[in-house]
Amino acid sequence: MQLEKLKNILEAVLLSADHPMEVRQLERLFDADEDRPGKDEIHKALEALQADYEGRGMELKQVASGYRIQVPETYAQWVSHLWEEKPPRYSCALLETLVLIAYRQPITRGEIEEIRGVSVSSHIIKTLLEREWVRVLGHKDVPGKPAMYGTTREFLDYFNIKSLDELPSLAEIKDLDAIHPELALEEEQRMVAEGEQDVDEQDEENQELSDEAAVKESAENSDDAVTAEASQA
């Protein structure tokens, strides 16, 4: 198959796909063709497409799950205005937990807490699992059999990298705000609010118990007074 035709087909497929495509998936698209291209030809066509997109408003990017056509990060601030919904913001605690899982995997929740020096909220682990950024790799052979966490392909895709080797070194990670400029402490504020709500509820419960005790004491005093009067009579 001619290179230009193959490039056009791959471009059309990747623009239509809603997820990254691996080379083997692209290769299967041509199973019914007599002049089906081989893996080397597909790689060559993909490299040619990448070269064609240089300096343009879109790029062909290889991530962990395969190839995808996307908008370069350079133009994200303008393209983002097409959607009213704001991108999710994550707390510093969540990002620190994610960094530890990425660099120290497999790692348990207890080991994360030991490194950070504070407890890890169940909400943080739940959020990372729901986003499919982390998964349970197994269970550590120690009492309690704690789950060991590691990152996923979705994690690599989201951060636009092909493998963990492309992550910056730990020495480069000095400020989490620099990694995620949209960082906000909404989650921590929510957790604080929930904590304050729990305190308020506990105060109300204590107040109710105190009121009940006061009523009971008053009733007992009244009974004692009635008994004393009856004895004197």
* Gap between the Cα atoms of 23 and 156, Å rounded: 18
Predicted confidence (pLDDT) at residue 226 exceeds the cutoff of 60: no
Mean pLDDT lowest among 87-96, 110-119, 129-138, 176-185: 176-185
Q: In whole angstroms, how large is the CA radius of gyration of the chain? A: 30
pLDDT tens for 15-48 read 999 899 999 999 999 988 888 898 999 999 999 9
pLDDT of residue 34: 83
Predicted confidence (pLDDT) at residue 229 exceeds the cutoff of 80: no
Does pTM top 0.85 for this prediction? Answer: no
What average pLDDT score do residues 131-150 get?
93
pLDDT tens for 180-222 read 444 444 444 444 454 544 444 455 555 555 555 554 555 555 5
pLDDT of residue 160: 87
* Contact by Cβ (8 Å): 182, 77: no
pLDDT of residue 6: 93
3-state secondary structure the chain: CCHHHHHHHHHHHHHHCCCCECHHHHHHCCCCCCCCCCHHHHHHHHHHHHHHCCCCCCEEEEECCEEEEECCHHHHHHHHHHCCCCCCCCCHHHHHHHHHHHHHCCEEHHHHHHHHCCCCCHHHHHHHHHCCCEEEEEECCCCCCCEEEEECHHHHHHCCCCCHHHCCCHHHCCCHHHHCCCCCCHHHHHHHHHHHHHHHHHHHHHHHHHHHHHHHHHHHHHHHHHHHHHHHC
pLDDT tens for 86-112 read 767 788 889 899 999 999 999 999 999
- 184 against 157, higher pLDDT: 157
* Gap between the Cα atoms of 174 and 192, Å rounded: 26
